[in-house]
Amino acid sequence: MAQVAIYPGSFDPVTYGHLDVMKRATRIFDKVIVAVANNASKTYLFSLEERADMVRQATRRMKGVEVTSFEGLVTDFAKKNKINVLIRGLRMTSDFEYEFQMALTNRHLAESIETVFLMPSVGFSFLSSTILREVTRLNADVSSFVPASVAKRLRERLST
């Protein structure tokens, strides 16, 4: 039986750090479902469809990756799809506390689901979608942080 994991996130937008975690996950799991989340309490720069499309474009040549979207709890999504592993990326120690709380909450909600933490390459460990949105607003070149198609969409949406 194939080993499948879910890599959930908002990916607003997807970065090379996210893609690095996806590649690492495909070395461990036969299939990685990148689940683009929509959280009603968050404000996004890009719509759910736009974010999922950017991830699909960025992963189109990545073997073993499937992209979908969902709303609601990731544990419900995992149970519905009979998947018991969640992938979470850790960049800095500052991520750990939040991710640890989330993993324990998910375990409480669905005891059979395990969380696996993966770290991106050191060159991507400082990247965040929030920082990318901010520096794009200030007309910085973000092409070394995101795929060209994502950089283009960011410039179109945010350049002043």
Distance CA 39, CA 56 (A): 20
Distance CA 111, CA 86 (A): 12
Instruction: Mark whether 112 is an active-site residue.
Output: no
Distance CA 15, CA 31 (A): 20
Rg (the chain; Cα; Å): 15
For the chain, give me the number of helices (H) and strands (E)? Answer: 6, 5
Choice among 27, 42, 60, 63 that is catalytic? 42
Instruction: Mark whether 108 is an active-site residue.
Output: no
Contact of 10 with 45, CB cutoff 8 Å: no
Choice among 18, 24, 51, 88 that is catalytic? 18
CA atoms within 13 A on the CB side of 78: 23
Choice among 23, 51, 88, 91 that is catalytic? 91
Choice among 23, 24, 51, 129 that is catalytic? 129
Instruction: Mark whether 159 is an active-site residue.
Output: no
Instruction: Mark whether 18 is an active-site residue.
Output: yes
Kindly report whether the peptide bond that precedes residue 13 is cis, defined as omega within 30 degrees of 0.
yes
Residue 150: which of 137, 124, 132 has the closest Cα?
A: 132
The token pair at 120 is: 């991106």
Q: Which residues are catalytic?
A: 18, 42, 91, 129
